[in-house]
Structure 1
Amino acid sequence: MASNQPAPEVPSPFRTDSLGTEDRTWEEWNPTEESIRPVRGRHRVAKQRGLARSSTVLGVGVIAAVGAGGMATAQSKPPVSISLPDSIADNLPDAKSLPGVSAFMSTDSDADHATVASSPLTTAGITAAEAEQGATDAGEALRARILQQAEQQQAGAEAEAKAAQEKAAAEAAAAQAAKQQTEAEAEAAAKKKAAEEAAEKKAEAERLAKLAASYAVPTSSYYISSSFGQAGSMWSSGYHTGLDFAAPTGTPVKAVHSGTVKSAGYSGSYGYRTVLELEDGTEVWYCHQSSMDVTAGQKVTTGQTIGRVGATGNVTGAHLHLEVHTPDGTGIDPMAWLRGKGLTI
């Protein structure tokens, strides 16, 4: 079992006179290891919580008061006076050494103390301009700052929206301008193309008109009774190889262009046939004539009469059978060839 030793006596902080009467005058007490050593066993003496604890609490209180100064100012809350015994005041830490307190301490004069007392306990968040304007309350300054920031953000948002609208309008205008330019270019290109086509047509018409002056329709008072390539059993090849101009017997047959008569005579199913060779080697055959007015080797001019419409050979009625052959002997459509020379058939 643990022994129950009596706790050591704690010296009294008060002086006693020769009669044992205590002098209540305060005297500093310096605790020692022996005086505060815990005693083992059932009876324990609580540690003395003296000046060190009091100093710490006081320091924390001062810091808390400084921190609370952002919400309460000297104008709204009167200063609190604290009285401490000299022995405790002498052991307190210097207030200037406490964080955040030295800025509010001044030893110059009582006027300076009055100035500090009339000012807010903290100026956190208050700018020099705000201080000049009288905004010395931290909460009011913060509120003003927030409102200012909100206004700035609103102004920025409005500026961004306006810039976006201006950009969209500029892009729309640019797109419209580009569209108009494209349409104008397309219209100009179309006009240019139309003008070029008109010029080409005009030039072709002039060429054909000039060419037509040197070509002539092979006969007159006619109608087309059979076209080139028309199929039928009455033609030995199975299709029509020329162009038929149905006209009364004896109607003049004319040279379509100047050239040389290559042959003139009777040619079986073609009846009386005249072959006219042009300068480029093209041959024009005039068939089923009733009579011929030229002979082989004779030179003729455009529109000169070379024979008469008839019904000789393999025919069903009076007409001029006209064939056109290229220099290599290939038969082509006489109507297309004549129209290509500017003639109207």
Structure 2
Amino acid sequence: MASNQPAPEAPASFRTDIVGGEERTWEEWNPTEESIRPVRGRHRVAKQRGLARSSTVLGVGVIAAVGAGGMATAQSKPPVSISLPDSIADNLPDTKSLPGVSAFMSDDSDADTGTAADSSPLTTAGITAAEAEQGATDAGEALRARILQQAEQQQAGADAEAKAAEEKAAAEQAAALATKQQSKAEAEAAAEKKAAEERAAAKAEAERLAKLAASYALPTSSYTITTTYGQAGSMWSSGYHTGLDFAAPTGTPIKAVHSGTVKSAGWSGSYGYHTVLELDDGTEVSYSHQSSMNVTAGQKVNTGDTIGRVGSTGNSTGPHLHLEVHTADGSAIDPMNWLRSKGLTI
């Protein structure tokens, strides 16, 4: 490793100045290119790097201090007085004569007025008028207060939104519950109404049947049903039974089932003594196999009037009443169902 050789001495010169009325002699050193050798090796580079790094750190520190709005305040430090020798202070130029500097300087009159620029410390930079009215004097504290206030406002807004969401959810739940309860109440009311209507209909039907029963009567009494309507067999020319048979002792009274007019009364072959009663609505009721008849054609009868007696005339195997019912158009229907539709019990 090469060592640094001592640099040759530079020629010295002397200068005489008048300082404070006294003559002083100064020795000046005027280095030349030949008298100074360049420094080699790592020492020079390391020194320069260290200087650069130190300058960078210092610059970052200054920027951070200023950006904090006065967080690092000089008010907490004691003042330091700076003095210059009289020889130097007397030779300094007038500050007001310097271009661009006189604008920042103030005379005694300005000092007397107490302008805000002279009296305001650096730490009050960035403080708003409202904060100043509240007594804020430190920019760092003011910044901290603003941050806390903003955080509180954001938290309050979030709490308000959460509360609004909860209230909305509770309102929706209450509305859904009310709708469900209303639907249930409506369904119960509809079911009750339907049941009431059914009860009313059943009551009305019972009243109707009771009224009909009062105006209709069974064709005979002390009977036994032996053959029903539609029953098949070779005994009947049509292949099936066309009426309803009431077996009863010979001579048992036969009654008119309803008021009407006797359409015919007489002998009718296999039916024996046969009577046809036409009702007011056109329905025809016929009575067969009678032993005797008590009415004639064209006669008016009322419900329960005796129109004949049970017998076994015509094509018959024993005393009974053969009853048939035909509608106004001549169609045969089941006598048992017809009698029951009039409120009668068989």
What TM-score comes out, normalization by structure 2 length?
Answer: 0.66
Q: Report how far residue 306 of structure 1 moved.
A: 1.6
Match of 2:110 among 90, 108, 111: 108
Q: 1:194, CA displacement in angstroms?
A: 3.5
Measured against aligned partners, the alpha-carbon deviations of 1:140-175 in whole angstroms (never above 9, x if no partner) come to 333332222222222222222222322333333333
Query: What secondary structure does 2:278 align onto?
Result: strand
AA of the residue aligned to 2:320 = H
Partner of 2:125: 123
Deviations 1:15-48 (A, max 9, x none): xxxxx957699xxxxxxxxxxxxxxxxxxxxxxx
Match status 1:211 vs 2:212: yes
What displacement does 1:133 show?
4.4
In structure 1, the residue matched to 2:306 is: 305
1:87 to partner: Cα distance: 5.1
Deviation at 1:290, TM superposition (A): 3.1
CA positional deviation for 1:317: 4.2
**Which residue of structure 1 lines up, in the alignment, with residue 33 of structure 2?**
none
Deviation at 1:119, TM superposition (A): 2.9
Paired residues for 1:162-201 under 5 Å: 162-201=163-202
Matched residues in 1 for 2:345 and 2:68: separation? 114
- Equivalence for 2:158: 157
8 Å CA contact 1:75, 1:118 repeated in 2: no
User: Which shows bigger deviation, 322-331 or 301-310?
Assistant: 301-310
Describe the shift of the 1:233–1:225 C-alpha distance in structure 2 as closer, same or farther (beyond 3 A).
Answer: same
Supply the RMSD in Å over aligned alpha carbons: 4.0
Equivalent in the alignment of 2:339: 338
Alignment coverage as a number of residue pairs: 285
Q: Aligned partners of 1:107, 1:224: CA distance in 2, in Å?
A: 142
Q: 1:74 to 1:113 in 2, by over 3 A?
A: farther
Please say if 1:71 is aligned against 2:71. yes
User: Using a 3 Å threshold, how does the CA distance of structure 1 residues 161 and 223 change in structure 2: closer, same or farther?
Assistant: farther
**Percent identity of equivalent pairs:** 74
Equivalent residue runs for 1:42-57 within 5 Å? none
User: Are 2:256 and 2:307, in contact at CA under 8 Å, matched by a contact in 1?
Assistant: yes
Per the TM alignment, residue 176 of structure 1 is displaced from its structure 2 partner at its CA by 3.0
Q: Aligned partners of 2:102, 2:230: CA distance in 1, in Å?
A: 127
Shift of 1:122: 4.9
Separation in 2, partners of 1:310, 1:264: 15
**1:324 Cα deviation from its structure 2 partner:** 1.0
Q: Which amino acid aligns with 1:138?
A: A
Cross-structure match for 2:100: 93
What are the Cα deviations for residues 39-79 of structure 1, in whole angstroms up to 9, with x where unaligned? xxxxxxxxxxxxxxxxxxxxx9xx96865654322324567
Contact 1:72–1:120 (Cα < 8 Å) also in 2: no
The question of whether the paired residues in 1 share the 8 Å contact of 2:123 and 2:139 is answered with: no
Q: Which runs of 5 or more structure 1 residues have no equivalent in the other structure? A: 1-19, 26-59
Kept in 1: contact 2:272–2:315 (CA 8 A): yes
* Separation of aligned partners in 2, 1:150 and 1:238: 104
